[in-house]
Amino acid sequence: MNAFKNLLTATQEMKLQALDCWYCALDNQLLRMDCPNDYHDELLRQCDEMHRQQIVTWEEWRDLRIEADQAYLRAIAGDDYH
């Protein structure tokens, strides 16, 4: 499978891995249900760190924070329990 080797730059691969980690945290239902505040803090911490390391742009950072805020609001509303 050498056809798919080295298709991404190192920067693109780092961004892809960082976003994958963030979306895994977003999908962490156990943390979201047990402690919505910690869940939200972790999402914000990760997107702030990606922005600090210049992995994501300001617009991407903002969009991740908005998505984290919306997920938090759904968590405290009890959406996982319906």
Residue 45 near residue 73 (C-beta atoms within 8 A): no
- For position 1, what pLDDT does the model report? 52
Q: What is the pLDDT of residues 34-68, one digit of tens each?
A: 999 999 999 999 999 999 999 999 999 999 999 99
Which of left, alpha, beta for 5 (phi over 0: left; psi -120 to 50: alpha)? beta
CA–CA gap between residue 6 and residue 30 (Å, rounded): 36
- The model carries a pTM of 0.87
Sign of the CA dihedral with 5 first, then 17, 55, and 65 last: positive
Residue 61 near residue 51 (C-beta atoms within 8 A): yes
Q: What is the pLDDT of residues 2-32, one digit of tens each?
A: 666 778 899 999 999 999 999 999 999 999 9
